[in-house]
Every structure is written in structure tokens, then in C-alpha cells.
Amino acid sequence: MKKDDCLFCKIANGEIPSITIYEDEFHRVFFDINPASKGHCLIVPKDHYDDIFDIDEAAGGRLFSLATRVSKALKKELDLEGMNIVQNNGTIAGQTVFHFHMHLIPRYQGDTVNVGWKPGEADMDALSELAKKVGDSI
Ligand code: AMP
Ligand code: ZN
């Protein structure tokens, strides 16, 4: 389903132009308008989902399946040395467009891409407890 006044609904469904790399029944893949590196593109479902918490497994599976194909095509056509796949959910996580999307960010020697966090300290007992709790919820 589409959502009124959603930028990516409009782009995905062709109402707002984009530099499209690929399109099928379910998705549009287009270049990010403010690329982090050469080839930075977005994979967007044509149906509206706010974020990962809103998407169903079948749609999520299709999206990642397509990400594998697009990644390989980018690798074939660009001189990239690596790839970050970034998918932000929620303002706190850096999401600015609230229609699910995956960033494919090719990496090159000396680029200025910054995807990271400060490694923390693990509390093994707390992690074991949490593993059981979350595992039981899956
Ligand atoms: P996020 O911060 O994960 O929500 O990412 C949103 C991304 O959408 C940013 O990298 C923007 O540069 C990109 N973006 C916003 N508007 C457009 C547009 N009209 N065409 C292409 N990319 C866009
Ligand atoms: Zn939307």
C-alpha cells in the first residue's frame, strides 16, 4: 500500500523522478541524491513500510535477495573494494525518510564514509539471559 505524502512512495512508484538503476514489481533501486561514495544507491519497496518493525518477512526477504544482486552488479561495474549495507530504523538510528530503505554504499581506499560505533564491554551473564529472552520471542 502507498502512503500519502511519503517521498519514497512517490519515487518508488515513479511519481517523482529518480536516477533509477533497476525496477521490478516490488522494488525500485535508485542513486542516493547525496551519495556517501560513488555508486551509493537505495533499495526501496514500492509498498509503504515505515521501517524494519513494520515490514513482513516475505517483503524483507525479497529486499535482501535483491540487495545481493545489486551488490554484485555494483562490484562488477565499479572499482569498489568493499560495501556497507546500512538500514536505519527510527530517528535515533539516523532514519530521515520514514519509508523502509536499504543503503548500498560502495567502499574505496581513502573514501570519507563513516559507518561505526565504539565497541562496548560484554557482560556474559546478562547476554546469556538476554539471548534466551529474545530467542524465545523469535
Ligand atoms: P536515511 O537517513 O537512512 O533515512 O536515508 C535517507 C536517504 O535518502 C539519504 O541518504 C538521502 O540523501 C536520500 N534521499 C532523500 N531524498 C532523496 C531523493 N529525492 N532522491 C534520492 N535520494 C534521496
Ligand atoms: Zn512510503
* Nearest atom of ligand 1 to the alpha carbon of 97: 4
Give the architecture (CATH level 2) of 7-137: 2-Layer Sandwich (3.30)
Question: Ligand 1 pocket check: which of 48, 96, 100 to mutate, most ligand atoms within 8 Å of Cβ?
Answer: 96
pTM score, whole prediction: 0.97
pLDDT over threshold 90, residue 119: yes
103 included as an active-site residue: no
What are the domain boundaries of the chain?
A: 7-137
Mean pLDDT value across residues 29-54: 98
Q: Is the beta carbon of 89 within 6 A of some atom in ligand 1?
A: no
The amino acid at 22: Y
d(CA 131, CA 109): 37
Q: pLDDT tens digits, residue range 68-79? A: 999 999 999 999
d(CA 104, CA 86): 7
CA nearest neighbour of 35 among 98, 108, 91, 99: 108
